[in-house]
Amino acid sequence: MSEHINDLESVSNELLKSTDGAESANIRINESKDQVKRKMKVQSDAINNSSDSLKDMVDKIEIITREAESKLSILEILNRSSKEGTLKLDQSLESIENLSKSSNEILEIITVIESISSRTNMLAMNAAIEAAHAGEAGKGFFCCCRGNKKTFRRDISKF
């Protein structure tokens, strides 16, 4: 029996050692579990922060998109206005060119009228001189020349 008791004592000692080992392993498992829990919390917080940051970025991108669309709309309006302004400017330039052509034609007409006036004046002067040379016989012709000269000056002054 003593042998059995010794065997039991030996088994008991081994069981105590094994229990101590299991308890030590259990403590290490609990420590590892706590460490994993802490790391998971840190990762969870990091993911939440990243998620919040992403939401902020998406919100800012939406704001930027709306502003860009607004600016694009304004640019389209400016582009239309610019095209309309260019068209009106082209029309104005065409009108100015037409006015310039008309002015040149009017100047040519005035030049012709002045030339005729100058010749008519010269003819009237010559006729008056000839009427004066003719004496009494040229008086009627002289009056006629003077009347034509006055009429021509009156008509030319209208231009």
Q: What is the pLDDT of residues 19-43, one digit of tens each?
A: 666 677 778 888 888 898 998 898 8
Q: Which two tokens stand for residue 146?
A: 């003077």
Whole-angstrom CA distances from 132 to 129, 139, 141, 142, 143 are 5, 7, 9, 7, 11
**152 touches 120 (CB < 8 A):** yes
What are the pLDDT tens digits along the chain (159 aa)?
667 677 667 766 666 666 666 677 778 888 888 898 998 898 888 888 888 888 999 999 999 999 999 999 999 999 999 999 999 999 999 999 999 999 999 999 888 888 887 777 777 777 777 767 777 766 666 566 666 666 666 666 665
| Nearest-angstrom CA–CA distance, 144 and 127 | 10
Identify the pLDDT of residue 144. Answer: 64
Identify the pLDDT of residue 8. Answer: 66
**134 touches 141 (CB < 8 A):** yes
Q: Give the ranges where the chain is alpha helix by DSSP (H).
A: 2-134, 139-157
Identify the pLDDT of residue 139. Answer: 63
CA 35 to chain centre: 60
Amino acid, single-letter form, for residue 21: G
Q: Which two tokens stand for residue 37?
A: 């829990």
